[in-house]
Amino acid sequence: MRIFLFTLLLYACNTGQQQAKVSTTTTPDAAISTTDSIIPAVYDTDGKLIKVTKSDEEWARILPAKSYNVLRKEGTEYAFSGDYWKNHEKGTYVCRGCRLPLFASSTKFESGTGWPSFYEPIDKRYVTENRDESLGMTRVEVECARCGGHQGHVFDDGPRPTGLRYCINSVSLDFVKE
């Protein structure tokens, strides 16, 4: 069963963009060709999350420019400019790079920052947190644990029950409606 799931994951990650619905927009920052699917986490026999690895050239080819800049170059989008900061639909927010489910709409809240904010990930194992000392301050960076894509930062000024605010870039995510 694990071999089947591993094979399915590899197939989906390596050919998903070919099977996806193609966007009709021709601008460089058009939404990445997506499917309405979520690719679940798959673990190896040691219980470690199986990673998605692509070269920088591959990422640049399959991601829109804005998503590539954020996911692979640790950039950020302008506040109040992303697709999801005002989204109130029910569903799941997945990593735009590998489609790992990262955040549930039930944990999203209005932070007033202009970025989608969540008080917890779907599974703590799905995000990696790293010390970030860029821009003359110390913050905690959030990455997708499967593909290493930069998502945003986490702060300790969120609501109950966790007190956390995962401040995430819309261009790092896709939304799968319930």
- Does residue 172 contact residue 149 with C-beta atoms inside 8 Å? yes
Q: Which of 4, 13, 2 is nearest to 94 (CA)?
A: 13
Cα–Cα distance for residue pair 118/112, rounded to 1 Å? 12
- Does residue 90 contact residue 175 with C-beta atoms inside 8 Å? no
Question: Which tokens go with 18?
Answer: 């070919």
Q: Give yes or no: 98 in active site.
A: no
For strand 150-155 and strand 91-95, is the pairing parallel, antiparallel, or unpaired? unpaired
Using CA of residue 41, residue 44, residue 48, residue 50, what is the dihedral sign? negative
Catalytic pick from 13, 95, 144, 167? 167
As to burial, measured by CB atoms within 10 angstroms (0-12 exposed, 13-18 middle, 19+ buried), residue 159 is middle
Quickly count: other Cβ atoms within 10 Å of residue 119's Cβ: 20
Residues noted as catalytic: 167
